[in-house]
Amino acid sequence: MAVAVLADSPVNDRPKFFTSTKKPISCKNNQNVGRTRVCDKPRTPFQRLLDPGVLSPAEERELFEDRDGLKPGELAC
């Protein structure tokens, strides 16, 4: 299912495979600033799907095939 969501539209290949984002994981209190968000390391949606237990081996192979078929030069705007 995750592969189907990720592979829905070829228009969005660039952000899915090449644009990394930070996701908030918690908040902490700071005396001077108040609450601040703590974020994880920047990773692409493709990298997040490769976390253990997210995809089956068949879905991972399909995702790698999709990525290997991309031409980054054609995705540039």
Q: Could you tell me the two tokens for 74?
A: 């054609």
pLDDT reported for residue 10: 55
d(CA 38, CA 27): 6
29-71: pLDDT as tens digits: 888 878 888 999 998 888 888 888 888 999 999 988 888 887 7
Contact 61, 68 (CB under 8 A): no
Q: Could you tell me the two tokens for 60?
A: 């991972």
Say if pTM beats, i.e. exceeds, 0.85. Answer: no
pLDDT reported for residue 26: 92
d(CA 13, CA 21): 15
pLDDT reported for residue 76: 66
11-35: pLDDT as tens digits: 567 777 777 888 889 998 888 878 8
